[in-house]
Amino acid sequence: MSIEKSTKAARGTVQCENTNINLLKANDFVADIIKKEMAKTKTLLVNITSSAGSGKTTLMQKTAEKLKDKFTMAVMVGDLETERDADRIRETGIFALQIVTGGICHLEAQMVHQVLDRFDLENIDLLFIENVGNLVCPASFDLGEDYRVTLMATTEGDDKPKKYPRMFLTSDMMLVSKADLLPYLPFSVEAVTKDAREVNHELEVIQISSLTEEGIDAWCNWLIEKVKQKQQA
């Protein structure tokens, strides 16, 4: 599914009849509608963000393998082009829908709301949004999620939380991904955690590897607890 936006809209405002419309306010309005729909169906909505290549899709595959027998799951995938990531997730046996943004570097609430009717929300316990790989633009757009989880790959360097503070400030969880590569990289989990928590002292942190499954049980247990909380609300 292709959703195209103007360059001006992507920057945050659009001129219409000499009136500047604040797209972030419009986005937040739609995000609130999404929150209410998720509350009605008691579906946990988790927004997964990161730089490109940090392992989001592999994590979705591993999470599906671990939890699909416990919960009904689905994934909404945002990418500039192709359906490759959604195809990979579908191979695990869960429903995945690709949103092709046509060059826009983030998902917006209206994009998410536009495709919600493709999901059987009454029968979905856990819905992931795999956002476009970018630590900048997605940080500004609330998608109506219950939680925002940001992957911080060991291959990126441990200086990103202070360079891209808004993403970590607006996240509930940081997953230090590709931990299996730590012996081979000049990356400090201690340093990245310290910087991230100086930006957001409430940030939870789990060190994971989708290949060796390090930390995957802790990640899945966190999700299980959040799903239970949502269903009991």
Compute the distance between CA of residue 84 and CA of residue 115 in angstroms, rounded to an integer.
Answer: 18
**Residue pLDDT, tens place only, 59-87:** 999 999 999 999 999 999 987 777 888 99
- Give the per-residue pLDDT at 100: 82
Q: Are 233 and 42 in contact, with CB atoms under 8 Å apart?
A: yes
Fold of 7-232: Rossmann fold (3.40.50)
Compute the distance between CA of residue 67 and CA of residue 199 in angstroms, rounded to an integer.
Answer: 31
Strand (E) or helix (H) holding 20: strand 19-22
Compute the distance between CA of residue 190 and CA of residue 169 in angstroms, rounded to an integer.
Answer: 18
For the chain, what's the residue count?
A: 233
- Give the per-residue pLDDT at 21: 55
**Residue pLDDT, tens place only, 168-219:** 999 999 999 999 999 999 999 999 999 999 999 999 999 999 999 999 999 9
Compute the distance between CA of residue 21 and CA of residue 7 in angstroms, rounded to an integer.
Answer: 14
- Give the per-residue pLDDT at 5: 35
**Residue pLDDT, tens place only, 116-145:** 999 999 999 999 999 998 999 999 999 999
Domain range list for the chain: 7-232
Beta-strand runs (E) in 80-154: 95-100, 126-130, 147-153
More reliable by pLDDT, 100 or 154:
154
